Amino acid sequence: MSTSVVFLIDLALKSIVVLAAAGVATLAMRRSPAASRHLVWTFAVVGTLALPLLMRALPPLRVSLLSPPSGVIVDEPIVRSATVLPPVTGPADNLARRVPALDQQSAVSLQSAISRRSSMAVSPESGRVLDPQPVPLSMRLALLWFAGFIAVFVPILVARIRLSLVARRAVSIESGPVAEVVAVVTALYGITRKVRVLESHAAAMPMTWGLASPVLLLPARVSDWPRWKIRNVVMHELAHTDRFDCLTQLIAQVACAVYWFNPLVWVAARRMRVERELACDDRVISAGSRPSDYADQLLDVARSLRAIPATAHAAIAMARPSQLSGRVIAVLDPSRPRNGVSRRFRSLAGTAVTLLIAPLAALAPWSVASPAPREVGTPVPGSVTKGTVSAAMPRSVSPAVPAKTDAPAATAATNGVPSLSSTFITAAVPFIKAMQAPAGLVTLATPDLTMTVSSAQVCWQTRSKEGEKGSTSISSNDDDSRRGRRSFSVKFERGGCRMEMQIDGKFTLRPDLTDVASLESDGSFWMEERDGGTTRRIEIRPARGGLDHVYYVNGRRSEFDAGARRWLADALLALERRTAFAADTRVPMLFEQNGIRSVTDEISRLEGDYARHRYYSVLLSMGMNFDAPTLVRLINQAASEISSDYYLSETLGKLSSQRYADESVWRAFAEATGRMTSDYYKSEAIGKVLVNDRLSSTTLSFLLRTAGTIKSDYYQAEILKGVARKYAINPQTRQYYMDALDKIGSDYYRYEVIKTLDTGTEWDEGISSSIINAISGIKSDYYKSESLQALIQHGRLKGSSRDWYFNAVRSIGSDYYKAAAMSQALAERPLTRETVAALLAAAPTIRSDHELAGLLTRVARSYRLDSGLRTAYERAANSIGSDYYRGQAFAALGRTSSDQ
């Protein structure tokens, strides 16, 4: 076997390690945004493509971990001698007489082999035997790999040819509602590449393709769709363009062609397809689309439209049926994080992949076999030689004969290093023996150590001390098919401890939670604990005069004595503190015993955010209104003990509806909300407070300060729009509002906030100047112009804010949008001389003769110019280079003068 075969085996194993590591990482990131998981898979696939190059470029890092394949000795090349046997003729009995050690049968075999060897041609120049060899294994593997590569790559070429034909038949969309939406979304994403928008002649599914020149294909009669549907489709497809998903899809396809024999590569390519669709769906939802409407649209697109055949390998369609169920579930999941990939995460992921790929590529895991070298020309012992010819042969192709051993359990080793399988078997022997130990007693036997561990009496308490969190699953049914029968089941596992409980029918527990107090006549209760080799089970059934307790230990019925009762009480309490299944009766009982203090103390003893949230929910639903100091204590305790943003948001939402909440409560509420990491739940908690009509400016300041910590532009904008719709921006809240607004990086969402700033109240000049300053930070000429025009529409251009307005207008680069913003100033009512003078002073900054002439014409028609304004008008008109447009501007001035 040649070194090229070893290289392929080494490459395949290393690619498996890289992709398996990516799978483990994305599994741990299952609650992270889909865009982050897609990035991890992309880096891993790129790493697999870089592996063969790095393995050739980097110096080897030799670590003897694995035995080389049979017939291969990994070492440096050495010089060997090729032995030429002379022709030997004669019967086999002559050979047997010449070599007495051979019997007759062996002599016949050897004579036959020598005869075949003698019939071979010998090169006259070098004396080398010209032995016709079969096709080497490496060549056969190369041909097999190439056949698989072609089989995977041909459909990609066919799909690209098919798409070129589809593009020729489609109609280009240059204007109309679709073109307007595409322009807005392109500006929102900051896509600088020219996007070609096509309308298919049939009901084709929306899809996109192309790297340098993206193409967006939409179905026939798409202009008849509602605008929100067009926006959703365009946002989803152009999100692929902005994310360069066509490039990452091509990279995944190349990896599948190169590593077609590796199933993990195909898994990685599929996960990349799934995650990229989820990431684009997240963008649509984050942009403000209603999840239920978008989910319906996905189903409608998949049902009524069809993907063009033979294009899946080159184009990205919107809603392929194979991925639809998971996407709809993700769209409707309110707890799903939908933010994109931050620069910090991209840098960390790239660094992590590099730190994995580089050492792995340099690693040489094969054990080195070093046979004793022979001198050049030394004949092989026992052979008959007539002449020898030296030839340089690599040691990696020298035959290795495995040694025989009489020991049945001997481990195969190369150069003193045991193989991987033998090492695993040796290490597993003690654990195999431990499996055969009696139940309840575990004995680990090794050559140096024997350790005995006795089963714990209460296993979940022991696991708690070890710090293991465990897993819990709860299911309940209050109205099933069996006469409205109530059922409840719970499974809890921590380490080697497993608890199960099943309750059918209505039940009550004792106040101290030591036993079941009552059970429905045909109900049942059972609970079981498994701890290693020990099993305890209790079954409780209704009986005359009470309840019947049947107790089992390791499947045998035992007496329900004091020890069993103590076990039942401990188990019920442990399950309650983990699952809060009896919170509805336990919380009121605790409150009656010692007030709210006993409830909060018990909450501190609970395990898990779900149980704590359940206790808070029951406490706050008891119809009592707590005073402000009590609410502050509850908020602070919930924020310090509940780590889940979802459950903390739900708890804070219930606390926010309390009647006696004051400024101290809202301050604590804002601080607790600020501890959340999820922008969604942070905005949801603040939104539950904004529905109140009794918030003061101080409270709004607290909430706006917390809103400033939100990283998502969408959720930041939603909070600011909610504040603007219900509350006036006053000098006390202005600074916090502006700080939050300045943190919105998206021009689109900043514009969305500014256009809602019409609360019907009078602004002072400071507020107007602050808003215009925020508009100046918008990079897009379109959204900057639209935001400035919104201020005019709301009547906010007054006092010194007028100068701020036209300074912001001057910063617009596009002459078209600059003229539009100036023209909107003419809509001020009443239109003042100060506004016209400021406009004429800024007008010469327009470089386009056409736009400037049109603006001056509108000025002449909108306002009667006095001598001072006429001078400014003429100065602006004289800056027009074109005689035609300059004459047009002076003609408009002359007409207005004659009319006057």
Q: What is the mean pLDDT of each run of 10 residues along the chain (900 residues)?
A: 68 88 90 90 91 83 59 42 43 49 51 50 46 63 86 88 86 86 85 87 84 88 85 91 90 91 90 91 84 85 81 82 79 84 86 86 63 42 37 37 38 37 37 37 31 41 52 56 65 79 84 84 88 88 88 91 89 85 85 87 89 91 86 91 90 82 85 88 84 75 85 87 76 81 87 76 69 86 88 70 84 91 86 89 92 91 89 92 90 65
Which two tokens mark 240?
């692929």
Reading across the β-sheet that carries 316-317, which strands appear in turn?
171-172, 196-199, 215-218, 207-209, 316-317
Strand partners, 498: 493, 530
Helix, strand, coil percent values for the chain (each to nearest 5)? 55, 15, 30
Residue 895 CA: distances (Å) to CA of 306, 337, 864: 60, 61, 11
Q: Are 704 and 733 in contact (CB under 8 A)?
A: yes
Type of residue at 477: N
The DSSP letter of residue 561 is -
Cα separation, 804 vs 741, in Å, equals 18
Cα separation, 832 vs 145, in Å, equals 79
Which two tokens mark 289?
């689309």
Task: Describe the crossing of helices 679-690 and 663-674 by its angle, rounded to 10 degrees.
Answer: 160
Strand partners, 535: 530
Type of residue at 844: P
Which two tokens mark 393?
């042969």
pLDDT at 496: 74
Which two tokens mark 723?
């504040």
What stretch of H or E contains 591? helix 583-605
Q: Are 880 and 886 in contact (CB under 8 A)?
A: yes
Strand partners, 558: 551
pLDDT at 896: 57
Cα separation, 744 vs 808, in Å, equals 18
- What are φ and ψ of residue 110, in 5° steps? -65, -40
**Which residues have a Cβ under 8 Å from the Cβ of 458 and sit 6 or more positions away?**
567, 570, 571, 574
pLDDT at 108: 52
Residue 731 CA: distances (Å) to CA of 89, 189, 239, 683, 754: 115, 34, 40, 24, 17
Q: Are 22 and 40 in contact (CB under 8 A)?
A: yes
pLDDT at 333: 83
pTM exceeds 0.75: no
pLDDT at 365: 66
Q: Are 714 and 340 in contact (CB under 8 A)?
A: no
Pairing mode, strands 497-504 and 507-509: unpaired
pLDDT at 461: 58
Closest by CA to 46, choosing from 211, 214, 269, is 269
Cα separation, 389 vs 79, in Å, equals 11
